């Protein structure tokens, strides 16, 4: 498979190493500064692109891939406010997009269990709930896309909550999502339910970026030949 990497930081380099080990070809590896070259690539040269850049660059990169008929896997977070625009363009041009806030198989199972627990816990108002995420100091978006996916899963089953805030809160109508940035932490996410009597947590700790990279590569292998917008639930059949 011919893969174009858009973004060549630590994640892009890890994906490259795993892809080459599996016999795939890397036809280009564009740094954020080289994104202008993306428009010169076509579907005749590229089977799938994998995009890990920054929130402000993702929209343009996704739209360019759709226009050039290149299926694209997007791991960048912080751009979902533009999703309606991308959905419209994808439908208009029969484009192919796979996006996820987190490509780790373990995290996506965490999403699944998070919703199951939230559905049960909303019946017990004596428990307060909050989300906490910890990442490395280089991460630009706050809260993380993964934390927002977790928050959405909780809010879906807590109709009394009107939304989230990026801080500790005791307001019953709000879900607190706490963000911390420490050293080189790969990614830790915690959902905590607390009452006067006890506390229990759902906890996921990423030990390396390889789990994210291998999941993104798995999505890239799955995507060609499909048209539309997909995510990890489609890939894992959750």
**Residue 77 marked ligand-binding:** yes
**Residue 33 marked ligand-binding:** yes
Q: Is 89 a catalytic residue?
A: no
The active-site residue out of 82, 139, 142, 157 is 139
**Residue 204 marked ligand-binding:** no
**Residue 95 marked ligand-binding:** no
**Residue 108 marked ligand-binding:** no
**Residue 36 marked ligand-binding:** no
**Residue 100 marked ligand-binding:** yes
**Residue 103 marked ligand-binding:** yes
The active-site residue out of 135, 161, 189, 204 is 135
**Residue 76 marked ligand-binding:** yes
Instruction: Give the chain as a DSSP string.
Output: -EEEEE--SHHHHHHHHHHHHTT-EEEEEE-GGGGGGGGG--TTT-SEEEE---HHHHHHHHHHHHHTT--EEE---S-GGGHHHHHHHHHHHT-EEEE-S---HHHHHHHHHHHHHHHHHTT-TT-EEEEEEEE-TT--SSS-HHHHHHHHHHHTT-TT--EEESS----TTEEEEEEEE-TT--EEEEEEEE-SS-EEEEEEEE--THHHHHHHHHHHHH-TT--EEE-HHHHHT-
Q: Is 139 a catalytic residue?
A: yes
Which residues are annotated binding-site positions for NAD(+)? 33, 75-77, 100-103
Which residues are annotated binding-site positions for (S)-2,3,4,5-tetrahydrodipicolinate? 136, 145-146
Q: Which residues are catalytic?
A: 135, 139
Which residues are annotated binding-site positions? 33, 75-77, 100-103, 136, 145-146
């Amino acid at each position: 498979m011919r893969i174009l990497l858009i973004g060549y930081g630590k994640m892009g380099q890890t994906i490259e190493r795993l892809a080459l080990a599996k016999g795939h070809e890397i036809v280009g590896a564009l740094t954020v500064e080289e994104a202008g070259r993306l428009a010169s690539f076509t579907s005749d040269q590229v089977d799938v692109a994998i995009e890990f850049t920054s929130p402000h660059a993702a929209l343009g990169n996704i739209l360019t891939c759709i226009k050039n008929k290149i299926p694209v896997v997007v791991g960048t977070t912080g751009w979902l406010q533009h999703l309606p625009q991308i959905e419209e363009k994808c439908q208009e041009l029969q484009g192919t997009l796979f996006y996820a806030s987190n490509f780790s198989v373990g995290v996506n199972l965490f999403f699944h269990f998070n919703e199951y627990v939230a559905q049960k816990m909303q019946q017990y108002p004596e428990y307060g709930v909050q989300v906490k995420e910890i990442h490395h100091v280089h991460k630009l978006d706050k809260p993380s896309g993964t934390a927002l996916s977790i928050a959405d899963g909780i809010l879906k089953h807590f109709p009394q909550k009107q939304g989230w805030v990026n801080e500790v809160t005791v307001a019953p109508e709000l879900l607190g999502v706490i963000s911390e940035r420490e050293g080189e932490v790969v990614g830790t996410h915690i959902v905590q339910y607390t009452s006067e009597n006890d506390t229990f947590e759902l906890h996921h700790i990423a030990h390396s970026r390889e789990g994210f990279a291998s999941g993104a590569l798995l999505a890239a292998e799955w995507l060609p030949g499909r048209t539309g917008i997909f995510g990890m639930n489609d890939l894992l059949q959750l």
